Amino acid sequence: MGFFWADKQATAATLAKCPIDHHAKPDVSACPVMAGKGPAAAGLAAACPVKKDGSGSLNPMNNMPYEISSVRMPGQQIELPTARTMSTIPRGTDESDGVWEYPSPQQMFNAMMRKGKDEVPEDAVESMVDVHNFLNEGAWQVILEWEQKHTVETRVDPRLLRFTGRPHDLSPRAQAYGLLGKLFPEHFTREPPFDRHDWTVLRADGKGGWNEVRYVIDYYGGPDDPHGMPTFFLDVRPALDNFGNAFDRAAKYTLSYQHLWDKAMGKDL
C-alpha cells in the first residue's frame, strides 16, 4: 500500500472524490499492492520493485529506487499514463521537502514487470494505481485524526518521515482478530489483513523539533458492495512503543465506547 516517490518540487493535491472507476471492477488479484492471503490477494512482496540483492540506488525513506523508468516496455500493447500524482501527505522534516509522490501507471507497470509479474493485465494497471493511492490517502486521514489533539496543542501539522511494508508480519491485534474469528466466526473475520505497513510520523514537540511516532496499518479486504465493487477496511493506530501511544489509544477507544453507549441510551439522538 505504500509505493511513494518523493519530489521536492511537488505541491499537495486534494482528494476531492474516490478516484476508482466504479464502472469497471479492478482486477484485484493482479494488483501488486493488494496481496498476501485470501481470495483478493496475490503477494505484495512478489511485486515489490526493490531488488532483494541490494542492487540499485535505494531511497532510505522507503527502501525503493529513487526512480523507476517511465519508458514503455517492449511488447507493451496499451499506452499507460506517465504523469505522477502528488499525494496530500507531507514528506520529510520541512515544508521545502514537499509531499510524497505516487508512481505513474507506467512506473507501476514497469516495476511489476521488473519483478516478473508479466501476467498482470495492462488494462488493469490504472485501476490498481487508483486503489493504491486512495487507500494511502485514507490511511493518512485516519492518522490526522489520531494526531489532532497534538496538532491543536503545537499548531504544527504532522508529516510522514518514512514507511516500511511488512506484508508477512501479522500485528498482535491482527493475530488476536484471527483467533476471535475462529472462536466467533459470526462476529469476526478469519481472513488476515492482505497487507501491513508501519509509518513513521513526525509529531511536533512544541520546541521546534520533532518526535517520531510509529503507526501500524493493517489493510483488510471486505465483501463486495451492492454494486459489485470491492471494499476495504484500514485498522490504523499508534504502535504500543511507549506510554504516550498507549495513553492515546486508551483515550480514543474510551471516548468511542462512551459515544456508542450514549447513543444506545438515547443521549446522542
Q: Is the distance from CB of 170 to CB of 178 less than 8 angstroms?
A: yes
Distance from C-alpha of 8 to C-alpha of 212, rounded to nearest angstrom: 21
Distance from C-alpha of 28 to C-alpha of 191, rounded to nearest angstrom: 16
Q: What is the pLDDT along the chain (269 residues), one digit of tens a residue?
A: 444 433 333 322 323 333 333 333 333 333 333 333 333 333 333 333 333 333 345 555 555 555 667 888 888 888 999 999 999 999 999 999 999 999 899 998 888 888 777 778 898 999 889 988 999 999 999 999 999 999 999 999 999 999 988 988 999 999 999 999 999 988 888 889 999 999 999 999 999 999 999 999 999 988 888 888 888 889 999 999 999 999 999 988 786 655 666 665 666 55
**Which pTM was predicted?**
0.72
State the pLDDT at residue 217.
96
HEC-encoded secondary structure of the chain:
CCCCEEECCCCCCCCCCCCCCCCCCCCHHHCCCCCCCCCCCCCHHHHCCCCCCCCCCEECCCCEECCCCCCCCCCCCCCCCCCCCEEEEEECCCHHHCEEECCCHHHHHHHHHHCCCCCCCHHHHHHHHHHHHHHHHHHHHHHHHHHHHHHHHHCCCCEEEEEEECCCCCCHHHHHHHHHHHHCCCCCCCCCCCEEEEEEEEEECCCCCEEEEEEEEEEEEECCCCCCCCEEEEEEEECCCCHHHHHHHHHHHHHHHHHHHHHHCCCCC
CA angle (65, 66, 70) in 5-degree steps: 85
